[in-house]
Structure 1
Amino acid sequence: MERKLPDPIIKKFEYSEKGLNEIKELDENKPNGKLLLRYPTVYVVNDKNQKVKQRNTQYSVYVGETNNIVQRTTQHLHEDPKNRDDWKKLSKSKTAQIYVIAYGHFNKSMTLDIENRFMLYLGSVENVKALYNRRTNSQDQYYPVEEVDEVFNNIWTKLNYKDKHLFPEMKLIRDSALFKASPFHKLTNEQLKAKNQILQKVKDAMDRNETGQLILVEGEAGAGKTVLLSNLFYDLCNPDPIDRKPVEARLLVNHDQQLKIYQNVASKLGLGKGKVDKPTIFINSEKTEDKHVDVILVDEGHLLWTQGKQAYRGENQLKDLQKRARIVILVFDPKQIVRTQQILTSDEISSLESEAHEKDNLITLHNQLRIDADPATINWLDNFIDKGIVGTLPTDSKYDIKVFESPAKLEQAIKAKNKVDIDSGYANGISRIIATFDWKFSSASKPKDEDYWMVKDSASDWKMPWNEQKKAKKRGINKNLSWAERPETIDEVGSIYTIQGSDLNYAGVIIGPSVGYENGKIVYYPEKHANKDAVQRRTLEDGSKKSFAPELIRNELNVLLTRGVHGLYIYAMDPNLRRKLSEVARGK
Structure 2
Amino acid sequence: MKIKTWVERIDFTEDSLLEFESAELAKSEEADYSPRKKRAKYLLDYPTVYIVHSDASRKVTAYVGETNSIKQRTLTHIKADPKARADWLKLSSDQKSQMYVIGSNLFNKSMTLDVENRLIQYLHCVDAVESLNNGRTNPQRDYYSKERFDEVFSEIWKNLRRKDKKLFPTEQIIRDSAIFKASPYHRLSDEQVMVKNELVRRIYDVILDKSTGQAPLGEPGKLQVVTGEAGSGKTVLLSSLFFEVCQGETRTFNPENDDDGTAFEFQDLDAHLLVNHDEQLKVYEQIANKLGVQKDGNQRVWKPTRFINTHYDWETETVKKHVDLIIIDEAHLLWTQGKQSYRGKNQIEDLLKCADMVIAVYDFKQILGANAWIEDQDSIFEASNAIEPLHLSNQMRIAASEETVQWIRTFIDDGEILDFPEDEHYQVKVFDDPNALRAAIKKEASNTERGLSRLVATYDWPFKKGSKEGGGAWDVTIGADFSMPWNGQLKPEHRRAGYGDLAWAEQEHTINEVGSTFTIQGFDLNYAGVILGPSVKYRNGKVIISPEESCNQAATNKRTFQDGKKHNLALSLLRNELNVLMTRGVHGLYIYAVDEQLREALLQKYRG
Please, what TM-score do these two structures have when normalized by structure 2? 0.90
Contact conserved, 1:340 with 1:538, CA < 8 A, in 2?
yes
Question: Does 2:599 correspond to 1:578?
Answer: yes
Q: Return closer, same or farther for 1:356/1:217 CA change in 2, 3 Å cut-off.
A: farther
Contact 2:55 2:98 in 1 (8 A): no
Give the letter for the 2:224 counterpart.
Answer: I
Residue 265 of structure 1 corresponds to which residue in structure 2? 287
The answer to whether the 8 A contact 2:381-2:387 is kept is: no
Distance, in Å, in 2 between the alignment partners of 1:461 and 1:172 is: 33
Q: Displacement of 1:356 after TM fit?
A: 9.2
Corresponding residue number in structure 2 for 1:53: none
Task: Give the Cα separation in 2 of the matches to 1:169 and 1:447.
Answer: 43
Mapped partners of 1:249, 1:358: distance in 2: 19
Q: What SS class does the counterpart of residue 66 from structure 2 fall into? A: strand
Matches within 5 A, 1:466-485: 466-470=486-490, 471=492, 473=494, 476-485=497-506
Letter of the 2:323 counterpart: V
Match of 2:47 in 1: 40
How far has the Cα of 1:233 moved from its partner?
1.1
Change (3 A) 1:462 1:19: same
Q: Which residue of 1 aligns with 2:429?
A: 402
Match for 1:39: what amino acid? Y
Q: 1:429 to 1:475 in 2, by over 3 A?
A: closer
Task: Tell me how far 1:415 sits from its aligned partner.
Answer: 1.9
Gaps of 5+ in 2: 30-36, 251-262, 313-317
Q: What CA deviation, in whole Å up to 9, does each residue of 1:189-220 have, x standing for no partner? A: 11111111111111222223125211211111
Shift in Å, 1:445: 4.0
Instruction: Answer yes or no: is 1:443 the counterpart of 2:469.
Output: no
Q: Does 1:215 align with 2:215?
A: no
Secondary structure of the equivalent of 2:235?
helix
DSSP 3-state at the match of 1:79: helix
Question: What's the CA shift for 1:17?
Answer: 2.3
Q: What CA distance in whole angstroms lies between the structure 2 residues aligned with 1:356 and 1:48?
A: 55
Q: Superposition pairs for residues 230-241 of structure 1, below 5 Å?
A: 230-241=239-250
State the alpha-carbon separation in 2 of the partners of residues 358 and 495 from structure 1: 33
- The letter for the 1-side match of 2:2 is K
The 8 Å contact of residues 159 and 167 in structure 1, kept in 2 or not, is answered as: yes
Q: Which structure 2 residues correspond to residues 129-278 of structure 1 after superposition, within 5 A? A: 129-205=130-206, 206-207=208-209, 208-210=213-215, 212-241=221-250, 243-246=264-267, 247-273=269-295, 274-278=299-303
1:381 offset after TM fit, Å?
0.8
Whether contact under 8 Å (2:524, 2:584) holds in the other structure is yes
Aligned counterparts, 1:363-382, within 5 A: 363-382=390-409
Superposed CA offset, 1:369-412 (max 9, x none)? 11111111111111111111122222222211122222222222
Structure 1 counterpart of 2:566, one-letter code = K
Deviation at 1:562, TM superposition (A): 0.7
13, 16, 30: which one aligns with 2:13: 16
1:534 aligns with 2:555: yes
SS of 2:76 mapped into structure 1: helix
Q: CA 1:24–1:407 in 2, change beyond 3 Å: closer, same or farther? A: closer
Kindly provide the amino acid, as one letter, of the partner of residue 154 in structure 2.
N
1:359 aligns with 2:359: no
In 2, Cα distance between the equivalents of 1:461 and 1:166? 43
Q: Supply the distance in 2 between the matched residues of 1:188 and 1:472 (Cα, whole angstroms).
A: 44
Which residues of 2 match residues 304-453 of structure 1 at below 5 A?
Answer: 304-345=334-375, 348-355=376-383, 359-360=387-388, 362-419=389-446, 421=447, 424=448, 427-448=449-470, 451-453=472-474
Give the aligned residue type for 2:482.
W
Shift of 1:491: 1.2
Q: 1:322, 1:488 → 2: CA distance?
A: 41
Partner Cα separation in structure 2 for residue 519 and residue 351 of structure 1: 37
Q: 1: CA distance between counterparts of 2:386 and 2:361?
A: 18
* Contact 1:440 1:453 (8 Å CA) reproduced: yes
Q: Tell me: CA distance 1:387–1:357, structure 2 relative to 1, closer, same or farther (3 Å).
A: farther
| Matched residue type, 1:244 | E
User: Does structure 2 retain, via aligned residues, the 8 Å contact 1:15–1:45?
Assistant: yes
Cα gap change, 1:63 to 1:472, in 2 (>3 Å): farther
Deviation of the 1:580 alpha carbon? 1.6
Distance 2:38 2:76 in 1: 25
CA contact (8 A) 1:468 1:498 kept: no
Provide the aligned C-alpha RMSD in A.
Answer: 1.9
Instruction: Determine if the alignment matches structure 1 residue 464 to structure 2 residue 469.
Output: no
TM-score by length of 1: 0.93
Contact 2:535 2:548 in 1 (8 A): yes
Give the corresponding residue for 1:556.
577
The 2-side partners of 1:392 and 1:221 are apart by 23
Q: Is the 8 A contact 1:373 1:566 kept in 2?
A: yes
Q: Is the 8 A contact 2:370 2:557 kept in 1?
A: yes
Matches for 1:121-132 after TM superposition, within 5 Å: 121-132=122-133
Distance 1:191 1:66, change over 3 A: same
Opposite residue 565 of structure 1, the aligned amino acid is V
* Secondary structure at 1:185 match in 2: coil
The alpha-carbon deviation at position 446 of structure 1 amounts to 1.5
1:567 alignment partner AA: G
How many Å separate the matches in 2 of 1:65 and 1:434?
A: 43
Q: What are the equivalent positions in structure 2 for 1:80-159 lying under 5 Å apart?
A: 80-159=81-160
Go from structure 1 to structure 2 and tell me whether the alpha carbon gap of 1:105 and 1:411 turns closer, same or farther (over 3 Å shift).
Answer: closer
Paired with 1:155 and 1:472, the residues of 2 have a C-alpha distance of 39
Taking structure 1 as reference, are residues 445 and 164 closer, same or farther at Cα in structure 2, changes over 3 Å only? closer
**Of 321, 344, 349, which residue of structure 2 is paired with 1:291?**
321
Residues 444, 105 of structure 1: alpha-carbon distance in 2 compared, 3 angstrom cutoff: closer
Deviation at 1:182, TM superposition (A): 1.0
* Counterpart AA for 1:476: A
Q: CA deviation at 1:506?
A: 1.5
| Contact map agreement 2:225 2:387 (CA 8 A) in 1 | no
Counterpart for residue 54 of structure 1: none
Shift in Å, 1:461: 4.0
Q: Displacement of 1:475 after TM fit?
A: 5.8
| Aligned ranges 1:481-520 → 2 under 5 Å | 481-520=502-541
- Against the structure 1 CA distance between its residues 160 and 318, is the aligned structure 2 distance closer, same or farther, given a 3 Å change threshold? same
Query: In the superposition, relative to structure 1, how do residues 38 and 243 fare at CA in structure 2: closer, same or farther (>3 Å)?
Result: farther
CA distance in 2, matches of 1:474, 1:413: 22
> Amino acid of the residue matched to residue 14 of structure 1?
D
Name the aligned partner's letter for residue 242 of structure 2.
F
d(CA) in 1 for partners of 2:546 and 2:370? 16
